């Protein structure tokens, strides 16, 4: 059957329309013409399943050419790396504490005390450690100040300086009544840093103080506190009373004995000597010998090996025996020949058929009543050698005043 030209063209056109309607893929060209955007979109939209509409995907934005790679992130810089002084990060009171310690530490020393003991069987001599303590450099001549009780039991002593060098030490002088001792080492002057000396008469309660020493053998230890009280009294190793003692809450432990108590300017204001503690460890109550006493005694110990002791040339009955005899005052037991008391006609105990009879009884010094040896000695100490005191003495129920000049009796 022959089809006409028009019929053939119509048949082809119908076939193409049927293919589009059935979803067959079509070329994007139509008779050599590029399909326009709306035409392509109409074709794409007709090929989607019913109920789904896929939006046209946007064309990607053109990318700019890549630049040089970014440098790696650097780690955070510490104050030390950046050249910042760590002290700038501290509070003012912290910087002050650090500076005080830095200035005082080279002057503080560590003291070893050793006793010699002989074996009764082998006769060998062994060195027995008696303990450790603290001290401080007094001058560049090698003098070191510490407590008397630190050196008392030691027959061999050594001093360890801040640079860890150890030097044999010998005792130059002691003042048991004030719990002070001076040692001597033969170290070069360039290894010795004397501690600046302050005063204790103008201290105030609440004032900041620092204790530097070697508690429990831990050298160069700093503790900080305040002056808790002034004018305390403390019994010395000899039984005499140390007066005007400084009380502090700066931690003082075994091994701190003999170390310095210093003020916020780094000056010596006391020598740490004792603590009050039921357990033996720090309880916040420590005591220091005032520096005014230290300044007076240390030159004497260096010059003569003993502290100058003013007196009138008498021996005295103990306070305990005087109390048992129900006597109030200081009992003269004997009078030394050619002394001030002998020249003034004072008398000691007299032997009688019934026993011993009282001679002169000292009841006051410079108008101040005295009942113990310690009270009288304190007045003598305040007057000093060469000072003149007026004693009120009683004998046979009668009192009289006697004026005497004090002399040094330390060597007698």
Active-site residue list: 149, 179, 257
Q: How do 361-365 and 368-369 pair as beta strands? A: antiparallel
The Cα–Cα gap between 259 and 237 comes to: 17
Tokens of 68: 């040089």
Per the CB < 8 A criterion, the answer to whether 134 and 152 are in contact is no
Per the CB < 8 A criterion, the answer to whether 136 and 259 are in contact is yes
Q: Mind giving me the DSSP string for 107-144?
A: GEEEEEEEEEEE-TTT--EEEEEEEEEEEEE--TTSEE
The Cα–Cα gap between 249 and 93 comes to: 18
Tokens of 76: 């955070």
**Three-class SS string for 301-343?**
HHHHCECCCEECCEEECCHHHHHHCCCCCEEEEEECCCCHHHH
Helix (H, G, I), strand (E, B) or coil at 87: helix
Question: Which residues lie across from 226 on neighbouring strands?
Answer: 208
Which secondary structure element, helix H or strand E, spans residue 379, and what is its range? helix 373-383
Closest C-alpha among 334, 338, 339, 328 to residue 350: 334
End-to-end CA distance of the chain: 167
Q: Which sign does the torsion angle of CA 199, 202, 203, 209 carry?
A: negative
Contacts of 152 (CB under 8 A, 6+ apart): 176, 237
Q: How far are the Cα atoms of 245, 312, 387 from residue 344, in angstroms, in the given order? A: 35, 10, 16
The Cα–Cα gap between 23 and 20 comes to: 5
Helix (H, G, I), strand (E, B) or coil at 411: coil
Total residues found in the chain within this entry: 412
């Amino acid at each position: 059957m022959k089809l006409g030209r028009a019929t053939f063209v119509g048949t082809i056109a119908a076939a193409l329309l049927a293919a589009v309607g059935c979803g067959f893929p079509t070329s994007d060209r139509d008779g050599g013409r590029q399909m326009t955007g709306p035409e392509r979109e109409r074709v794409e939209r007709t090929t989607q399943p019913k109920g789904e509409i896929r939006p046209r995907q946007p064309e990607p934005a053109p990318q700019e050419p890549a630049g040089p790679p970014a440098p790696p992130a650097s780690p955070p810089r510490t104050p030390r790396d950046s050249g910042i002084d760590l002290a700038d990060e501290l509070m003012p009171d912290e910087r002050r504490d650090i500076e005080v310690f830095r200035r005082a530490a080279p002057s503080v020393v560590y003291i070893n005390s050793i006793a010699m003991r002989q074996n009764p069987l082998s006769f060998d001599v062994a060195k027995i450690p008696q303990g450790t303590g603290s001290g401080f450099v007094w001058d560049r001549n090698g003098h070191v100040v510490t407590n008397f009780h630190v050196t008392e039991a030691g027959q061999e002593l050594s001093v360890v300086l801040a640079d860890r060098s150890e030097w044999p030490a010998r005792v130059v002088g002691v003042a048991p009544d004030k719990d002070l001792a001076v040692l001597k080492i033969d170290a070069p002057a360039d290894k010795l840093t004397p501690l600046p000396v302050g005063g204790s008469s103008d201290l105030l309660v609440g004032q900041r103080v620092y204790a530097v020493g070697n508690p429990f053998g831990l050298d160069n230890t700093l503790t900080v506190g305040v002056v808790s009280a002034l004018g305390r009294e403390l019994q010395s190793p000899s039984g005499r009373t140390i007066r005007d003692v400084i009380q502090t809450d700066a931690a003082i432990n075994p091994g701190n004995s003999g170390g310095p108590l210093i003020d916020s300017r780094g000056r010596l204001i006391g020598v740490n000597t004792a603590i009050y503690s039921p357990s033996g460890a720090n309880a916040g109550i420590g005591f220091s010998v005032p520096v005014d006493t230290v300044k007076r005694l240390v030159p004497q110990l260096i010059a003569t090996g003993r502290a100058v002791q003013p007196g009138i040339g008498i021996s005295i009955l103990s306070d305990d025996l005087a109390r048992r005899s129900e006597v109030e005052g200081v009992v003269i037991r004997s009078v030394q020949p050619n002394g001030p008391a002998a020249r003034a006609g004072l008398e000691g105990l007299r032997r009688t058929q019934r026993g011993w009879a009282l001679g002169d009884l000292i009841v006051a010094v410079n108008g101040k009543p005295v009942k113990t040896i310690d009270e009288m000695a304190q007045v003598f100490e305040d007057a000093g050698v060469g000072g003149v005191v007026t004693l009120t003495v009683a004998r046979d129920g009668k009192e009289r005043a006697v004026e005497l000049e004090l002399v040094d009796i330390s060597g007698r």
